Chains A and B, each alone.
Chain A
Amino acid sequence: MPVLRFDGVSKTYAGPHNALSDISFTVNAGEMLFVTGHSGAGKSTLLKLIHLSERATRGTVLVNDKNLAKVRGRQVALHRRQVGVVHQDHHLLMDRSVFDNVALPLLIEGVPSKEIGKRVRLTLEKVSLASKEKTRPSELSSGEQQRIGIARALIAQPLLLLADEPTGNLDPSLAAEIMGLLASLSAQGSSVIIASHDLALVKRMRKRVLVLSQGKLMDDIAPEELAP
């Protein structure tokens, strides 16, 4: 069952600059896929349209059969709670502890504090950061910071997880570890969309790949079509 559907979606910025042109694809529940392409291909714009940081100029974006063009005002915030985001530069609150960073989505959602404590500790165990819950992110390595970002995205058990170059600054072994975490989330039922220009990593994961170039969808490669 599709969780995400792009139907003839275009995004044009002032200039005019066509960031995306007539993109159509669907993503099923629990599916993990990569969006790849050179810089400026439109990967980040595509993720922004799903997260509602931007709106499509033409076409329809449906998340769980809801047309995002009709999501307005307070509904935008509620939509974003269903969509986890992992950034290359983490976007963590450096003056808060690891615990507080990971707890933030639950605090926003209004989850009772007792439940927050349980779920944060469980999630920190999953990303091997249970012993660091009181530490500030600035005291941790880049890989650990990325794991905090993933834990923060995981904890709300989102319908969709968007990761924009999540392994950009990491060495190959850490990158593989992060990918493993994202894959485990997909196995739990969340759909995971990863924007990456690291073709080697993409090939290694053997997942579906959308190839973008100059805002156009050039190819939609199934996992079995990828060369080993």
Chain B
Amino acid sequence: MSTMRTNNSSFGARLGAWRDQHVYSLLSSLGRIVSKPFSTLMIVGVMAIAMALPLALGMVLWNVQRVSGTVQAAREMSVFLKPEVTLEQAKVLAKKLEQRGDVEKVTVISPDEGLAEFRKLSDLAQSVDLLGSNPLPSVLKIRPKDDGMALATALQQWPQADVVQHDGQWRQRLNAWLSLGERMLKILSILFGIGVLLVVGNTVRLDIGTRREEIAVMQQLGATDGFIRRPFLYLGFWYGLAAGALALGLSLFAGLALDERLRPLLASYDSRFALHGPDLMMVLALLASSAILGWMGAWLASGHHLRQTRPTDL
């Protein structure tokens, strides 16, 4: 009997047959998608838009995080000393500061060095010349070891300090916004992910409806649930993969369209910031997760059908 023959056949032959079955399902499901281009485009389009929204938000957050990372790295604070504090006194203060445990480095910028820098950066340098004397104070540039919040508070109490410039609070607020954005991204990803799952599930359910008789014939011939389910899983896989690719394309297109307007705007603020798209790992992760979502949607729909068509006592 054939069953016995199959059981006796070599492991390699059975593995080859198993591979053949998968290749057959993979290609036949692709064929089904290609044979209905309009409906495929509609389905993939809906899924892609659902994926593109959290993806676009993710890209915005990623870019903001890149900028904030630069801000975090530049955690130096500046202490503008009062005009009556001499350069010698400033150097003494700097040495005193360096002995603190939360200070990594202190640099003293003399009024002359400050003026030279000012001349390089500002068109108002000629106006300063009109004053006759250098109005700039000595400045201590401090690089703290931590976030510098405690140090900034302590420096503000110094009688010699006129202004303490520290962006710690601003950075804290930015972090809070980024954290909120990340939470929103997670919520949106879950919601739209469920949406994608339902779209694929419903599409596969409709496809199963048109192949009900075929499934019944296969069940009669001894097909296992796995065998019947396989082409639908690959169908979901292809839908997911195509939707992921389209979502990526839509997001990149939106990014390019924004970048075109953003560049001149930021250039007017002397910024060289440019929007960055996802890197290769992010692209691969997106495509993999969208394909898995499609696969899962198909699994749910086909599993539901198989449970319904199986007599309860079998």
Complex interface bits, A80-115 against B, C-beta within 8 A gives 1, otherwise 0: 111001000001110000000000111111111100
B3 touches A82 (CB 8 A): yes
For residue A162, give the distance in angstroms from its CB to the closest CB of chain B. Answer: 10
Which residues from B are CB-within-8-Å of A79? 222
Set of chain A residues within 8 Å of B18, measured between Cβ atoms? 110
Contacts A72-B314, A104-B218 given: A112-B20 contact, CB under 8 Å?
Answer: yes
Using known A-B contacts A52-B314, A55-B313, A82-B1, determine if residue A112 contacts B16 with beta carbons closer than 8 Å. Answer: yes
Asked if A93 and B217 sit within 8 Å, CB to CB, the answer is yes
User: Is there a chain B Cβ closer than 8 Å to A118's Cβ?
Assistant: no
Contact count A vs B, C-beta below 8 Å: 83
Which of B3, B214, B314 sits near A76, CB closer than 8 Å? B314
Determine whether A78 belongs to the interface, using a CB cutoff of 8 Å to chain B. yes
Write the nearest CB–CB distance from A166 to chain B, whole angstroms. Answer: 15
Contacts of B221 in A (CB 8 A): 80-81, 85, 104-105, 108, 152
Please pick, from A78, A82, A108, A156, the residue contacting B218 in the complex, using a CB distance under 8 A.
A108
How many A residues are at the interface, by size bracket? 20 to 34
Residue of B nearest to A55 (CB): B313
Is B314's CB under 8 angstroms from A85's CB? Answer: no
Contacts of A106 in B (CB 8 A): 2
Cβ A91 vs Cβ B220 within 8 A? yes
* CA A54 to CA B314, docked complex, whole Å: 8
Which residue on A lies nearest to B6, using beta carbons? Answer: A109
* B24 and A107 contact, CB distance less than 8 A: yes
User: A105 contacts B222, CB within 8 Å?
Assistant: yes
Q: Is the CB of A108 within 8 A of B223?
A: yes
**Contacts known (A77-B223, A91-B220, A112-B20); A156 close to B2, Cβ less than 8 A:** yes
Asked if A111 and B227 make an inter-chain contact with CB atoms under 8 angstroms apart, the answer reads no
Verify B220–A113 contact, CB threshold 8 A. Answer: no
CA separation between A113 and B313, bound complex, in Å?
Answer: 35
Question: Do A159 and B217 have beta carbons less than 8 Å apart?
Answer: no
B238 to chain A, nearest CB (A): 19
Is there an interface contact between A159 and B1, defined as CB atoms closer than 8 Å? yes
Assuming the A-B contacts A91-B217, A112-B16, are A77 and B311 also in contact, with contact meaning beta carbons closer than 8 angstroms in the complex? no
B311 contacts which of A53, A85, A109 (Cβ < 8 Å)?
A53
Additional A-B contact list (12), CB under 8 Å, known A80-B221, A111-B6, A159-B1:
A77-B225, A78-B222, A80-B222, A82-B1, A104-B217, A105-B222, A107-B21, A108-B222, A109-B222, A110-B17, A112-B9, A112-B13
Sample (10) of A-B pairs whose CB atoms are under 8 Å apart: A55-B313, A72-B314, A78-B222, A79-B222, A80-B219, A105-B221, A109-B3, A110-B6, A111-B6, A112-B20
- CB within 8 Å of B: which residues of A? 51-55, 72, 74, 76-82, 85, 91-93, 104-113, 152, 156-159
